[in-house]
Chains A and B, each alone.
Chain A
Amino acid sequence: DIQMTQSPSSLSASVGDRVTITCRASQGISNYLAWYQQKPGKVPQLLIYAASTLQSGVPSRFSGSGSGTDFTLTISSLQPEDVATYYCQKYYSAPRTFGQGTKVEIK
């Protein structure tokens, strides 16, 4: 099975900072990569799919890139409402594995 590895596992940044989270697949998955945001006590929300396509309603400060095995989620200017855990997921076939998550906090 393909493994998904995120880094870092947590980060702390200031409001307005640019934040980058990486996700690496153990084998190529083309662009079948999604990013989810899970705020404390809430269900996950789809942010990005097809590695770089923003889900409707998601602020434009979020962006995604990558293909094959290496992917990136970027928040261009961190806002207080972005405090959450972010997960990548490969949806190329089963199992639809998630990364272990990256917890983003405000410094």
Chain B
Amino acid sequence: VQLVESGGVVVQPGGSLRVSCAASGFTFDDYTMHWVRQAPGKGLEWVSLISWDGAGTDYADSVKGRFTISRDNSKNSLYLQMDSLRTEDTALYHCAKSSAPTGWSPFDYWGQGTLVTVSS
């Protein structure tokens, strides 16, 4: 299993950015996928999830209405569109795979992350 994030850059407050996660080594369209972020020197914060078929999504309150998760199963790819970015969104963004194809399950594989810095 490999999860490789990309797209992190420095962006101004109020700006937008899309980060991506390329998945390999497993049947991508069987699994719910997640984004988790970690601000510098801080703990883990769950951000969003998307069901195997993209029909179900959910978000942390801190990003609801500003971030949109999506996936393209034909490309084995996960995305996070981030709009109206704030300085407090500065973090390393990891994609993570659910450990089981059905039901509620923890995260058994994590990507190394892509760094998003929101600064003027």
Contact = CB atoms under 8 A, between A and B. Distances in A.
Interface string A5-28: 000000000000000000000000
Given A43-B110, A55-B108, A94-B49, A49 B99 contact: yes
B43 A96 contact: no
Contacts, number: 55
Interface string B12-41: 000000000000000000000010000000
A94 B104 CA distance: 10
Interface in B57-87: 58, 60-61
Contacts of B49: 94, 96
Nearest to A48: B106
A101 B44 contact: yes
A87 interface: yes
Contact of B44 (A32, A44, A55, A93): A44
Interface in B38-60: 43-46, 49, 58, 60
B78 to A, nearest CB: 16
Interface residues of A, number: 24
Interface residues of B, number: 20
A96 B60 CA distance: 9
Given A34-B106, A44-B110, A93-B104, A98 B61 contact: no
A93 B105 CA distance: 9
Contact of B112 (A32, A34, A43, A55): A43
A91 interface: yes
Interface of B: 34, 43-46, 49, 58, 60-61, 94, 99, 104-108, 110-113
30 contacts: A1-B61, A32-B104, A34-B106, A34-B107, A38-B44, A43-B94, A43-B112, A43-B113, A44-B107, A46-B106, A46-B107, A46-B108, A49-B105, A55-B108, A87-B44, A89-B106, A91-B104, A91-B105, A91-B106, A93-B104, A94-B46, A94-B49, A94-B58, A95-B58, A95-B61, A96-B34, A97-B46, A98-B43, A101-B43, A101-B44
Interface of A: 1, 32, 34, 36, 38, 43-44, 46, 49, 55, 85, 87, 89, 91-101
